[in-house]
């Protein structure tokens, strides 16, 4: 169920859906996603679906992880990324293979602790994590070349844009469940530009720590 053949089938599917970056496809084909979901669901880890990861949250569908990663890196390689919503740690682990340093914040402590164990187990030492409400970003570690949000706010969080370098991009779902859109926000000298990509379905961004 977790064999290379099963993983290759997932990669074929992502290609069919338009993911073109071979480096990203290769990372998704080799990263053990079954270690990021509950053991009882490990046999479904290489299906192209979101899966529960406890605390009422989900690990994103591999297609979405690939797409958001592609969008983040589409203007060339970057060195530092902030992720809001660590969850299982899967998206952060994909990014850790592509950028020098990943910063990730999560509001649910129990979730973050589990993700941290996975980072250790996989030897991913370039991921720095923090238990906090990510709506404020991580100013002390910024500015970042890229920001990725994996929980959906109702409005573009301007506090986060201020933590982007000029020309930096933020990839995020925007809006309420059922009506969300994936958008790319690029910080410009004077303000920012927004590009709408496609419909998505993420858990909402929630304020406060747990
Ligand atoms: N990137 C994750 C997907 C996580 S689901 C993965 O690869 O598995 C979204 C996560 O965002 C959840 O864990 C949720 O607790 C977290 N989250 C929601 N609102 C948040 C906030 N304000 N600050 C930080 N994390 C938040």
pLDDT at 2 over 90: no
Nearest by Cα to 121 from 4, 23, 2, 34: 34
pLDDT of residue 4 exceeding 80: yes
- Alpha-carbon distance of 183 to 198, in angstroms, equals 8
Contact 149, 91 (CB under 8 A): no
Q: What is d(CA 95, CA 123) in angstroms, rounded to the nearest whole number?
A: 14
Asked if 195 and 181 touch (Cβ cutoff 8 Å), the reply is no
Give the per-residue pLDDT at 140. Answer: 97
The pTM assigned to this predicted structure is: 0.97
Beta-strand relationship, 192-200 and 144-149: unpaired
Tens of pLDDT, residues 121-172: 999 999 999 999 999 999 999 999 999 999 999 999 999 999 999 999 999 9
Evaluate: CB of 77 within 6 angstroms of ligand 1: no
Is residue 87 within 6 Å of ligand 1 at its C-beta? yes
Residue 8 Cα to ligand 1 midpoint, Å, equals 28
Say which residue the tokens 């490990």 belong to. 42
- 198 has pLDDT over 70: yes
In this prediction, residue 74 carries a pLDDT of 92
What is the tens place of the pLDDT at every residue in 10-37? 999 999 999 999 999 999 999 999 999 9
Residue 114 has pLDDT above 90, yes or no: yes
**Distance (Å) from CA 192 to ligand 1 centroid:** 24
Q: What are phi and psi of 141, to 5 degrees?
A: -100, -10
48 C-alpha vs ligand 1 centroid, how far in Å?
Answer: 19
| Ligand 1 neighbour 151 (Cβ under 6 A) | yes
Active site residue 207: no
* Residue 98 confidence class, pLDDT cut points 50, 70, 90: very high
Q: CA angle, 116 as apex, 60 and 202 as ends, to 5°?
A: 20
Q: Is 88 in the pocket of ligand 1 (CB under 6 A)?
A: yes
What is the residue with the minimal CA distance to atom 17 of ligand 1?
Answer: 85
Q: How far is the CA of 46 from the centre of ligand 1 (A)?
A: 21
- In 79-210, which ranges are E strands? 80-84, 101-106, 127-131, 144-149, 164-174, 180-187, 192-200
| pLDDT of 102 | 98
pLDDT of 1 > 70? The answer is: no
Ligand 1 atom closest to the Cα of residue 58 is: 5
Count the residues in the chain.
210
Strand-strand pairing, 192-200 and 180-187: antiparallel
Q: Give the single-character DSSP code of 97.
A: T
- Provide the pLDDT for residue 178: 78
Question: Cβ-count burial of 178 within 10 angstroms (0-12 exposed, 13-18 middle, 19+ buried)?
Answer: exposed
Q: Is the CB of 206 under 6 A from ligand 1?
A: yes
Give phi and psi for 26, each to the nearest 5.
-65, -40
pLDDT in tens, 25-79: 999 999 999 999 989 999 999 999 999 999 999 999 999 999 999 999 998 889 9
Candidates 135, 85, 91; CA nearest to 111 is 85
């Amino acid at each position: 169920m977790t064999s290379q053949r099963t993983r290759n089938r997932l990669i074929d599917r992502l290609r069919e859906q338009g993911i073109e970056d071979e480096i990203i496809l290769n990372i998704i084909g080799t990263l053990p996603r079954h270690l990021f979901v509950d053991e009882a669901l490990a046999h479904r880890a290489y299906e192209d679906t979101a899966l529960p990861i406890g605390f009422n949250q989900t690990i994103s569908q591999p297609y979405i992880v690939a797409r958001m990663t592609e969008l983040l890196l589409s203007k060339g390689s970057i060195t530092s990324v902030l992720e809001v919503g660590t969850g299982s740690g899967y998206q952060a682990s994909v990014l850790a293979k592509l950028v020098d340093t990943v910063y990730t914040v999560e509001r649910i402590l129990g979730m973050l602790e589990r993700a941290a164990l996975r980072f250790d187990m996989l030897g991913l030492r370039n991921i720095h994590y923090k238990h906090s409400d990510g709506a404020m970003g991580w100013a002390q570690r910024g500015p970042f070349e890229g920001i990725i949000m994996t929980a959906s706010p109702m409005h573009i969080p301007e506090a986060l844009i201020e933590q982007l370098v000029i020309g930096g991009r933020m990839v995020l779902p925007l809006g309420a469940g059922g009506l969300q859109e994936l958008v790319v926000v690029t910080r410009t000298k004077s303000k920012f530009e927004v590009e709408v990509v496609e419909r998505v379905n993420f858990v909402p961004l929630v304020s406060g720590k747990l």
